[in-house]
Structure 1
Amino acid sequence: MLTRKQYELLMFIHERVRESGVPPSFDEMKDALDLKSKSGIHRLITALEERGFLRRMEKRARALEIVKLPDNMAETLRPATTRSQAQRMSPSRHGRSGSVTNLDARGAGSPRRSISEGEGSVNVPLVGRIAAGTPIEALQNKVADVAVPSGMIGRGEYYALEVTGDSMINAGILDGDTVIIQEADTANSGEIIVALVDNNEATLKRLRRRGDSIALEAANPAYETRLFGADRVRVQGKLVGLIRRY
């Protein structure tokens, strides 16, 4: 089962090739899917390759070949063709469904779509709680599995954490959210990370590098930025998305 964005991209490429004989550019695909960066297109194309729908041909510009089309996909997934249609499909904050937010590690993003029955998903281990405030505890062992839309997951290893606290609310991360983390031991300044402080306390914060020091920055003016020596902070992963229940 393809995610909605994977389906939209596959159909866009298919229609463009059928009309002109030439696949669209990455900029055209980005604009057609209303994405902010081409990195999202790269992830979607990789996912479609892995599922056997697309093939990239080396050493050729715009070298994308449609290998196959999904069976009966048009009956089960109808792509949103405008921003307003996509917004109408997003769940209400007062509803009882769940929503998925795709974020890059800088925390930019908003709820894009609801999790629907039958949508392709993968299980990611929920390994404990993480404080979006004063650090409270280190990562624990797996306590459960969380079903995550497959379109959110790329290469690498992932885990999930339940958020406690409100220090990242201005980055769209609320108390009770489940954040999806890609395992990593390095990160760029400005990215939202899971940081392990003094090998004892874990926290979800924005990383800022200040010379030989590391600042863990909240996204809530009620919380102060905390400054540590570089040897006191270890990167445990980078934020890629979150799941919120209503």
Structure 2
Amino acid sequence: MLTRKQQELLIFIDERLKSDGVSPSFEEMKDALALKSKSGVHRLINALEERAFIRRLPNRARALEVLRLPDALKVAALRPALKLVAQSAPMPAPAAPRPHPHAMLAANDTITVPLHGRIAAGLPLEAMESDRSLSVPAALLGAGDHYALEVSGDSMIDAGIFDGDYALIRRCDDARDGDIVVALIDDADATLKYLHRDHGMIRLDPANASHTPQRYRPEQVRIQGKLAGLLRRYH
């Protein structure tokens, strides 16, 4: 069951693909649905993808394909209202049609994710909250809710994660052995490590031979998310 906004976005994408052969950009979708930010568009797209109404085309930058539409009567009822909203925002000139009916979303589309302080890639660091945010290329994130953490420490350098990097985390409360996770220990300290279950214990493994694994009872550890990507600034 789709919400009204999800249905409106699905129809808007479908009509742009049919008329121009080009998917609308995040900015166009935001304006057409009268949303305040592109992060709202990202959440709607994730919801449509999870419900198998659209899919992201592999090996193409930000390309979407409409797989199916909701009930025809609902589509007919929504189209007039959606067109009025869409026409209130200026639209760019249509791009030249392409042979394939799908198209790329703008490669420079970004979304804003919460930046929740620093995360230890070493010994556990006190979990920090923050009202800051980070702009992230939308292509780095898949389905789900995400947040960012600034990495502190060197225990994950052999996994390519360095002090000062920004870890992009997909929220979840469970993970498989071998996943790189954000683990909250005793509801106080957070760390970024490989997760392993070892003889009734939780083992958090570093990716640096100079650091030793950490072992905790299962009730001491809560999974806060899995690593989805990294951002790095070069100075």
* Cα offsets for 1:152-195 (capped at 9, x unmatched): 22222110000010000000000000010000100000000000
List alignment gaps of at least 5 residues for structure 2. Answer: 1-20, 22-48, 69-98
1:232 to 206, 217, 220: 220
Letter matched to residue 47 of structure 1: R
2:153 to 162, 165, 168: 165
**Equivalent residues in 2 for 1:189-200, closer than 5 Å:** 189-200=177-188
SS at match of 1:166: coil
Q: TM-score, normalised by structure 2?
A: 0.58
Distance 1:157 1:69 in 2: 25
- The alignment-based identity, stated in percent, is 43
Task: Write out the 4+ residue segments of structure 1 that deviate beyond 2 Å after TM superposition.
Answer: 45-49, 65-71
SS at match of 2:55: helix
Letter matched to residue 55 of structure 1: V
SS at match of 2:56: helix
SS at match of 1:202: strand
1:135 aligns with 2:124: yes
Q: TM-score, normalised by structure 1?
A: 0.56
Counterparts in 2 of 1:212 and 1:66: CA distance versus 1, 3 Å? farther
Distance 2:233 2:120 in 1: 18
Letter matched to residue 145 of structure 1: S
Distance 1:134 1:166 in 2: 10
SS at match of 1:128: strand
Counterparts in 2 of 1:67 and 1:194: CA distance versus 1, 3 Å? same
* Cα offsets for 1:115-138 (capped at 9, x unmatched): xxx711111111100010001111
1:119 to 85, 91, 108: 108
| Counterpart contact for 2:55–2:66, Cα < 8 Å | no
Distance 1:70 1:187 in 2: 32
2:168 to 161, 180, 188: 180
2:55 to 28, 31, 46: 46
Distance 1:230 1:155 in 2: 28
List alignment gaps of at least 5 residues for structure 1. Answer: 1-13, 15-41, 58-64, 74-117
Distance 1:166 1:52 in 2: 36
| Counterpart contact for 2:178–2:194, Cα < 8 Å | yes
